[in-house]
């Protein structure tokens, strides 16, 4: 039996990787993938806690997160394609027109 803390450490690590990638990377696809990484980090902790406490709610929640993530990916990728078509770049530093 793998102790709960292992899962949580892994989950935290994944989440931290996601945050770091989100902050550091300039490529919009990579940023997008970092978001998925964070989501999955959280998912892992949900499942771990669900298994630990024998509560099904955590597992159900993960399904919800995955559904929302899939929907988000669909919309997000569409936006990315639209941005690429007009700006011909994926560098977020160059996509900064929305400002005062």
Partner 1 sequence: MMSNLNLWLIPSLPLAGAAINGFFGKKSSRRAVTTVGLVFPGAAFAWALVVALRFSSLDLPYQEYVAHWIRSGNFSADFALYLDQLSLVMLLVVTGVGFLIHIYSVGYMWEDPSYFRFFAYLNLFMFFMLTLILANNYLLMFIGWEGVGLASYLLIGFWFTKDSAASAGKKAFIVNRIGDFGFLIGLFLLIQHFGSLNFTQVFAQVQPMTAETGSAGLLTAIGILLMVGACGKSAQIPLYVWLPDAMEGPTPVSALIHAATMVTAGVYMVSRSHMIFDRAPMALMVVAVIGTLTALFAATIGIAQTDIKKVLAYSTVSQLGYMFMACGVGAFSAGIFHLMTHAFFKGLLFLAAGSVIHAVGGEQDMRKMGGLRSYIPWTFLTMGIATLAIAGIPPFAGFWSKDEILWQAYSSEHGSWVFWLIGVITAFLTSFYMFRLLFMTFFGDYRGSQVDAHGQAHATHGHEHGHGEPHESPMVMLVPLMILAVLSTVGGLVGIGNRFENFLAPVFGSGQVAEAAGEAASHVTELLLMGVSVTVAILGFLLAYVLYISKPYLPQKIADALNGFYTAVLNKYYVDEIYAKLFVKPLVDGSTSILWQGIDRKVIDDTVNNAADAARHVSDEVRHMQSGNLRSYAGWIAAGSAVVIAYMIWMGVR
Where along the sequence are the contacts to partner 1 (CB under 8 A)?
19, 22-23, 26, 31, 92-93, 95-100
CB of 60 to partner 1, least distance (A): 25
Minimum CB distance to partner 1 smaller for 54 or for 99: 99
Contact indicator for 70, 77 with CB cutoff of 8 Å: no
CB of 12 to partner 1, least distance (A): 12
CB of 22 to partner 1, least distance (A): 5
**Upper half-sphere CA count for residue 83 (Cβ side, 13 Å):** 18
């Amino acid at each position: 039996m793998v102790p709960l803390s292992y899962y949580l450490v892994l989950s935290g690590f994944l989440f931290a990787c996601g945050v770091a990638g989100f902050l550091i990377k300039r490529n919009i696809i990579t940023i997008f993938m970092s978001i998925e990484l964070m989501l999955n980090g959280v998912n892992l902790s949900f499942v771990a806690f669900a298994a630990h406490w024998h509560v099904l709610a955590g597992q159900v929640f993960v399904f919800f997160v995955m559904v929302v993530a899939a929907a988000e990916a669909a919309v997000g990728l569409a936006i990315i394609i639209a941005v690429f078509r007009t700006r011909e770049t994926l560098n977020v530093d160059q996509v900064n027109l929305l400002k005062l």
